[in-house]
Amino acid sequence: MNAGLFGGTFNPIHNGHLGIIKYVKAQCAFDTIIIYPSALPPHKSNHNLASAQDRLAMVKGAVKHLNGFQVSDIELQRQGPSFTIDTISQFKTIFGKDARFHLLLGSDAFFDTPSWKQARQIFGALPVIVMQRGEKTGMAPFASFIDEHVAKGYKLKNDNLFVHDRLFAIRICNVPRIDISSTQIRNRIKSGKSISGLVPEYVETFIRTKDLYK
């Protein structure tokens, strides 16, 4: 199995998330993308955060009719903050040696990795795909960051792939710019505005039924 791992708060999941991971799945020829909501995101405020079970339910509903996507509650089953390095280790234990994983990160999350638990070990555990939205900005900012904060010795290959002789590759993948955010959706709900077209119909109905984000 060749799989992408896509974690996040998903508060709520929206059509921007789905559009981007559909694109990445096609570009990288993944067998599947595993989406896993965080239970206790260590780098985000819990203010106006829907319960982990509600966020999980919205993610499941959002992809239930999509082929090649699955949802995991792996981080909801653990106690304490949801650290990525722990999640990677668990996925490897569950699926065994025959599974090949890539970690999918938005560029904002990638540049925030120095604050993550055992961040450098992540790059020694699996390849990383950085999803850069919108216009190409060139590889210089990524090269500088990788050299300073990930490890010395990464070299740029094939325009967008950084390779290392001991660590896994980091690929910069330009993805469509879809101007939708979870913050925007929550603000629209607070203001009594429609979120139709911003989230899947299941998610819109779920939010309305559960009276979330007001």
Distance CA 173, CA 155 (A): 16
Q: Calculate mean pLDDT across residues 178-187.
A: 95
Distance CA 134, CA 136 (A): 7
Task: List, in order of start, the domains of the chain with CATH numbers.
Answer: 2-182 (3.40.50.620)
Note whether 6 and 104 are within 8 A (CB): yes
Bigger pLDDT: 35 vs 45: 35
Q: Calculate mean pLDDT across residues 184-191.
A: 96
pTM: 0.94
pLDDT for the residue 44: 62
pLDDT for the residue 172: 96
Q: Note the pLDDT tens digit of each residue in 41-95.
A: 766 666 789 999 999 999 999 999 999 999 999 999 988 888 999 999 999 999 9
Instruction: Judge if the upstream peptide bond of residue 12 is cis by omega within 30 degrees of 0.
Output: yes
Task: Let me know how long the chain is.
Answer: 214
Tokens linked to 183:
């913050």
- pLDDT of residue 133 exceeding 90, the answer is no
